[in-house]
Amino acid sequence: MRRLAVRFLFLVLAITFGLSASAFANSILYTFSTSSGVAGSFMLDDSTPFTISDQGLFASGGFPPTPFVEYHAFSPLITGTYGAYSFSGVGGCCFPSGLDILDYQPPYGSALDQARGDWWIERSTVSGPVLNGRSVTGLSIFSYLGPNGLNGPSFTPPTPIHDAQHFQYFVSYSDGSQESGGLESLTLVPEPSSFVLLGLGLAGVFVVKVRRATKVGVSDRVLP
């Protein structure tokens, strides 16, 4: 019976993982909050591949040159909210469009000496319903870091430097107005499948422990 229960549990986990993966594998949800008190969220399609858009050595004066690689995910699909506004679109409000990542490599010589650093930037052209006479037309998120702040391309935002110079947002509207300032947070939200699998796994462990405890209790009552 225990083997049958374990097999059934694995079957449930496999089916759940398959359904969750097919539903959520290509979408990553982010939430953010701004220094002005406006919060929002956006979702990117992580099936968009990264390509190398530039690479080489950054050199300045007599300092040792610093190797760098710039990665780009061109025009990932995006949907989201900014306060009471909603929007959808693709990367493309500025060049380079989409998710752009600059990664300096060790030994960081010139990058450190010249105060250069890595960055993680999402730029998007969007559209949405008109609210109070305008709609959101663009969203950009900027995270500037030290030269050792990243290690290759990732849809996961890096740990930010919390000041308005390094951690910024920019929103444009259809009436030509703009909003910008410092960010307070940028968080990647775990996909729902992770929570489902974790819950089922814990439930499975609980069931096995209960069954073992029950068998031990029965044995104690039977033995003289």
Total structural domains within the chain: 1
The amino acid that residue 64 corresponds to is P
User: Per the domain annotation, does 203 fall within a domain?
Assistant: no
Confidence of residue 147 (pLDDT cuts 50, 70, 90): very high
Q: Are 50 and 44 in contact (CB under 8 A)?
A: no
Closest CA to 82 of 166, 159, 183, 189: 183
User: Per the domain annotation, does 48 fall within a domain?
Assistant: yes
Question: DSSP for the chain?
Answer: -HHHHHHHHHHHHHHHHHHHHHHHTTEEEEEEEETTS-EEEEEEETTSPPEEEEEEEE--TTSPPEEEEEEEE-S-EEEEEETTEEEEEES-SSSSPEEEEEEE-TT-HHHHHTT---EEEEEEEEE---BTTB-EEEEEEEEE--TTS--S--SSPPPPP-STTTEEEEEEETTS-EEEEEEEEEEEEPPHHHHHHHHHHHHHHHHHHHHHHHHHHHHHHH--
Q: Are 125 and 93 in contact (CB under 8 A)?
A: yes
The pLDDT, as a whole number, for residue 196 is 38
The pLDDT, as a whole number, for residue 191 is 61
Q: Chain centroid to CA 167: how far?
A: 15
Over the stretch 172-191, which tens digit does the pLDDT of each residue have? 999 999 999 999 999 999 86
Q: Are 169 and 32 in contact (CB under 8 A)?
A: yes
Could you tell me what percent of the chain has a pLDDT over 90?
56
User: Per the domain annotation, does 106 fall within a domain?
Assistant: yes
User: Per the domain annotation, does 151 fall within a domain?
Assistant: yes
Q: Residue 169: which domain range? A: 27-191
| Widest Cα–Cα separation across the chain | 88
User: Per the domain annotation, does 68 fall within a domain?
Assistant: yes
Could you tell me what percent of the chain has a pLDDT over 70?
69
User: Per the domain annotation, does 16 fall within a domain?
Assistant: no
Is residue 216's pLDDT more than 80? Answer: no
pTM over 0.75: no
User: Per the domain annotation, does 172 fall within a domain?
Assistant: yes
The pLDDT, as a whole number, for residue 152 is 93
User: Per the domain annotation, does 159 fall within a domain?
Assistant: yes
Confidence of residue 75 (pLDDT cuts 50, 70, 90): low
Q: What is the mean pLDDT of the chain?
A: 78
